[in-house]
Structure 1
């Protein structure tokens, strides 16, 4: 694993974290099991929160991009692990616990996150993509949520994340049928935010990640917290008020206004 001048963070088998592939301040988490279309084993779900903890705490990391090695994003959970738990009455208990913890770690990552999707994005792959703030895909993308094919009860947490993103009708369509949809349908229904030709996907993610690193990290953090509060049923007012006080105290707003008046790029002081 190559490293730039950023702090080195732990990685694990099949989950690779790099810091120099998509520009300064951009960490890239690669699901690296291409022979299995990057299907996630029980161990990968279990390890993901620890892998994310390093860049979450590192002030040099401003943006996280999540992608898959090779031609697929992630084909979901490895089906070989579905019945591997020790409890005969609930053999998926440990896997479900680790899956939800991994999703929470990605959803609560304190900086902007982008899923860069090629090829298969199925089941657990959709779970990971929906936990990211934004989803950029190329037109090889194929999306599906397939518990109905194997008799799994989809968790309320994952169901809510899908409803929040695409609405109840498409959630029912995907979960009832397990059918796959193409990238154009994913764009039309809001499952992805940007759709690009294959040769343009990585350059556009690189460009957009660079835009994000030039903007106010405080504004981005406050936006994540306010949006999360609204999705949880609140109105976001307490979170917004707290962050407004912080932007004054940190000099973030003063620097932004000064830079605008002087027609120069801002040097925002807040680092979290």
Structure 2
């Protein structure tokens, strides 16, 4: 069923499609003639769509995929970079918009996001994967950072994403050489969660999405929040934070207003730091 809310009509989207079935929202990057490369229009549509999804309890899990034979071939260069090397305010604003949905809005979705990668996944598309919670890839998918091959450096979001999820040696090697690697290697180096034969990819991805959609959505949301925050905390901070979140979770699950939400928000804002001495 085509996805629609009061704030967005998926039928009006051109670079993205969205369909909801049984709590599973399939979001498809839809520029197959260009390998689903990200342009300014796709960035606008993805930002609007993700904003609507974040507030929609009917969406229990998101599957992100590409139309045609590729997942995404990165940024569509003519939209984001001047051929003469000039860096105008307009171009910077367009790149900021591409970053907004790839590294902020997608990462902050309360629902679990499962990427399903087939074909090419290049350059700026690596940041999409890092923002997803789970990445399923075909064994024969093709990944690359591309920057060094084009006499450039990997765009900042790409370098950051690779360093966050890939092993340090793998990130260094593949970003420095621009060498292409397959889905099996993506699983080994941490970029992908699981690599599968291409014929099994879709069934396995939607089976997993179905399992996630059947779980308690509040518990899943809190788990995502916990994973997002604990990496920068001390052990004492982690224990204090998770204890507060657990109490809030139980209150929400009981259908009662949370008395701990304000305390947790204060903790994250740095106004209250119980147990941060470790």
Q: TM-score range by the shorter chain?
A: 0.7 to 0.9
Of 28, 36, 39, which residue of structure 1 is paired with 2:26?
28
TM-score by length of 2: 0.80
Distance 1:159 1:239, change over 3 A: farther
What is the rounded CA distance, in whole Å, between the counterparts of 2:254 and 2:157 in structure 1? 35
Distance 1:141 1:196, change over 3 A: same
Give the match for residue 186 of structure 1. 186
Instruction: Give 1:200 deviation, angstroms.
Output: 1.3
Of 232, 242, 245, which residue of structure 1 is paired with 2:244?
242
What is the rounded CA distance, in whole Å, between the counterparts of 2:177 and 2:157 in structure 1? 19
Give the match for residue 214 of structure 1. 214
Are the counterparts in 1 of residues 16 and 30 from structure 2 also a CA contact under 8 Å? Answer: yes
Classify the secondary structure of the residue corresponding to 2:38: coil
TM-score by length of 1: 0.82
What is the rounded CA distance, in whole Å, between the counterparts of 1:28 and 1:152 in structure 2? 34
What is the rounded CA distance, in whole Å, between the counterparts of 1:155 and 1:239 in structure 2? 34
Classify the secondary structure of the residue corresponding to 1:107: coil
What is the rounded CA distance, in whole Å, between the counterparts of 1:174 and 1:245 in structure 2? 43
What is the rounded CA distance, in whole Å, between the counterparts of 1:236 and 1:42 in structure 2? 39
What is the rounded CA distance, in whole Å, between the counterparts of 1:252 and 1:194 in structure 2? 35
Are the counterparts in 1 of residues 124 and 155 from structure 2 also a CA contact under 8 Å? Answer: no
Which range moves more in the overlay, 232-241 or 136-145?
232-241
Are the counterparts in 1 of residues 15 and 31 from structure 2 also a CA contact under 8 Å? Answer: yes
Structure 1 unmatched runs, 5+ = 254-272
Are the counterparts in 2 of residues 30 and 66 from structure 1 also a CA contact under 8 Å? Answer: yes
Structure 2 unmatched runs, 5+ = 256-278
Give the match for residue 200 of structure 2. 200
What is the rounded CA distance, in whole Å, between the counterparts of 1:149 and 1:158 in structure 2? 15
Are the counterparts in 2 of residues 230 and 236 from structure 1 also a CA contact under 8 Å? Answer: yes
